[in-house]
Chain A
Amino acid sequence: MNKRVAGVLGAALLAIGLTGIALGDNDEDEREGRSSRGADVPAATNTAYLTECGGCHFAYQPGLLPADDWRRLMGSLDSHFGDDASLDPAVTKDLLDYLFANAADGNASIRSRAFAAMPRSGDAPPRITETVYFQRKHSEIPARLVRDNPQVKSFSNCQNCHREAERGSFNEDQVSIPGAAGWKD
């Protein structure tokens, strides 16, 4: 291969590389070359947790909030985001033990660490959707695709768009927003 051919080939490869960068978005998943497969927050496996909390809503993995936020949530179940979710004190304690052992600031998964590093601020009741990390990851999603979308309704319904949410996988490439075919950020 002479120098000229190598130069042209090099320029072509550089152009392909730049195109790739230009087409990609700014999500850390891609920039940091993370695997797009597999659960990235430990799945919720505790039977009592799945029954008691998953009975009314998506069973948010313990690794989505730091321990302190779980403590606050479990301390006010009689007034739980507009619902009465009171539990027997012994059950509450068992669930809290489980939440503490697997909280965002207590496990090594990449996304849990991000939730722990970018928590919410203020004194309002803890909401996963109000953590800095959550909001940063969803800042490009317009309200019409979520709140105004009858098939989604709320950012709290993880599983409506994140098809692998129950396994703890929230990677972007398995997101499918119902009623918004082909939408890309």
Chain B
Amino acid sequence: MPRQSFVSFSALGLISGLTLVAAGPVLAAGDAAAGKSAWTQEHTPPGADGPRSCATCHQADLTKAGKQVNTGKPIEPMAVSVNPQRLTDPAKVEKWLGRNCRWTLGRNCTPQEKADFLAYIRSQ
């Protein structure tokens, strides 16, 4: 039954999209409160000229637009409530979590940390 298999395939895609950062045997459930507190936690990775956090570019209020700290280029709000395009493209989410965790924390985020950030962004 082609129709049914299409539906199952879509459902599978949606699930893997929502949990994409938790790829692996265990799917991490995101904790929005943990994500919120990690969002403004400051880090000074090697080579940084001062403390940084997610809010350095994105602001602490996710419903507001941010600004790339080096170039000043505007960044659309992260909150899904005001920017429905957020978290709709798994490849884009992976790319930015990778870059931004390394820039901010000096390392890759764990699947749990990523899931927490996503839960926080989704809740805003």
Interface residues of A (CB under 8 A from B): 55-58, 78, 81-88, 153-154, 156-157
Contacts and interface: CB of A to CB of B under 8 A. Distances in A.
A46 B95 CA distance: 20
B102 interface: yes
Interface string B62-88: 000000101111000000000000000
Nearest to B68: A56
Given A86-B98, A88-B95, A56 B103 contact: no
Q: Size class of B's contact patch?
A: 10 to 19
Contacts of A86: 95, 98-99, 102
Contacts of A157: 71-72
Contacts of B47: 82
A83 B98 contact: no
A178 to B, nearest CB: 12
Given A57-B68, A156-B71, A157-B72, 5 more contacts: A56-B68, A82-B47, A86-B95, A86-B99, A154-B71
Contacts of B71: 56-58, 154, 156-157
Contacts of A153: 72
